[in-house]
Amino acid sequence: MASIENTGHNDSATAHRADGALPVNAIIAVLGAVGIVVAMTQTLMVPLIPVLPSLLHTNAADASWVITATLLAASVANPVFGRLGDLYGKRRMLFVSGFLLGFGSLVCALVDTLVPMVVGRAMQGLGLAIIPLGISIMRDLLPAKRLIPAMALMSSSLGIGGALGLPLAAAIAQQTNWHVLFWGSTVAVVALMILVWRVVPESPVRGTGRFDLSGAVLLSGGLVALLLAVSKGSTWGWTSITTLGLGGTAAAFLVAWAWWETRVEAPLVDLRTTIRRPVLLTNLASVMLGFAMYTMSLIGPQLLQLPKATGHGLGQSLLATGLWMAPAGLVMMAVSPIAGRLITVRGPKVALLAGSAVISAGYFLAIGLTGSPLGVLLVSVVTSIGVGLAYAAMPTLIMQAVPASEGASANGLNTLMRSIGTSTASAVIGVVLANMTVTFGSAQVPSLAGMHIGFLIGASAALVACLVAIAIPGRLAPTPDVASKPEVALKSDVVLPAPRPSSPRTAEPATAAVSAR
């Protein structure tokens, strides 16, 4: 039976919190920097995509596995490492994830052939689990008044790192050998893991019970099949035997996983918690927001780089394109504390609604602002403001609705939902741009109408997220089995009822339920 325990080290961490000795600013800075670097590693290959076949001595179809491997590994890592963190220590699993990220970067720095590069990139994908683990560590350690802005920064690091990584990678790739990208990533990860070791204590919240290996295998198989079908469907053909077979395999694995999770004593993901209205709706909104966020990343660079002779391209170099897109990451970083304040004053639901609405407005603006690099910059800035607000709200909504003992796995699942959204965007927008083209010389390039349709699809996804957010309860409603329990503060400026699962799998943590005041 799962329960909560505190080790001696955890007692020490609690004592530090009690006497104010915990280096709160350092914890926030280090974990935020780790999140940004992790996100940057995911974009290292983007500037190299056109030349990957020649760099790796292969064809374009096989070279695309360098990108796909990272996506698949991240999808598995988020829920699995989250649950392992809940059971065996979030800081410990953050180190494991960081080691895999750093070792994967080292592998990529040393090779120039396809297979080892795919292996290295898959290991880098496992590092994405650091972000939900970091959010959960913040929840368990930080005082109430610092928690929400800190989680906003950590959650937004996915977008911040992605936006900043593009121009940096482009500049390095153009000025020096492309392997330098991965050497730099290796050094950065090692340095940050040393800082984590020195600054960040282990979380005092720990669950006990067996790791659900069968559930992990079923979920991983279902996710890999699903994301392969989504990401490769346009290449293999949406009605091909391979794509349809993967879709059927995904459905079978995920149905079997859901059946198993409702029967095992200590599940990988507690579906009884996941289907609670606040969690379910937040995860649905996350899929839509992941889709909406990635739309700009797919269309903006293409629009900037297309030759002016096409009639709608803006003729920018790769480096110039990265510099035009970079301010979006800086804006998202600047929005994080504002989002934290909005969440504190008005609640995470309002921030999610506002962010979704701003993203949608930005894409509608794009229809009239695609004629100049400055216009594309303005669109990317507006949509980034929305992403910063929305992404900051999601971990708070999740944390309010789940037991502290399931925080890492719940955040891992939420991060996975965003990844599914970005993968779906890549497939849908890719199909639109591939089928709405104009002839330029001997090539077919995306038309302006196709790009506008893509922006409208992104706006629609954000509007759907807005509608879903409206249905999220403004306050966490206690379930019947917790209605009679006293309210406690889970390190948030909002007093919340202590969640208690409907089954005896988990018990409430004593230390996590104590206010940091």
Distance CA 259, CA 264 (A): 9
Distance CA 36, CA 279 (A): 25
Q: Can you give the pLDDT at residue 21?
A: 59
What is the band of 12 on the pLDDT scale with cuts at 50, 70, 90? very low
Tokens of 443: 């090539």
Residue whose token pair is 């699993």: 93
Task: Parse the chain into domains and list their residue ranges.
Answer: 4-212+264-497, 213-263
3-class DSSP state of 263: coil
3-class DSSP state of 367: coil
In this structure, the number of other CB atoms found within 10 A of the CB of residue 160 comes to 29
Q: Can you give the pLDDT at residue 31?
A: 92
Q: What is the mean pLDDT of residues 412-439?
A: 85
Residue whose token pair is 């290959």: 45
Positive/negative CA dihedral, 161, 165, 167, 172: positive
List strand residue ranges (DSSP E) for 449-493, in order: 487-488
Q: Can you give the pLDDT at residue 349?
A: 93
Q: What is the DSSP string of 313-333?
A: -----HHHHHHHHTHHHHHHH
- Check pLDDT > 60 for residue 106: yes
What is the CATH code for 4-212+264-497?
1.20.1250.20
* Phi and psi torsions of 201, nearest 5°: -80, 170
Q: What is the mean pLDDT of residues 273-285?
A: 88
Reported as a single tens digit per residue, the pLDDT across 358-388 is 999 999 999 988 889 999 999 999 999 999 8
Reported as a single tens digit per residue, the pLDDT across 53-65 is 888 988 877 888 8
Distance CA 262, CA 259 (A): 6
3-class DSSP state of 437: strand
The pLDDT mean for the chain works out to 82
pTM of the model: 0.78
In this structure, the number of other CB atoms found within 10 A of the CB of residue 364 comes to 18
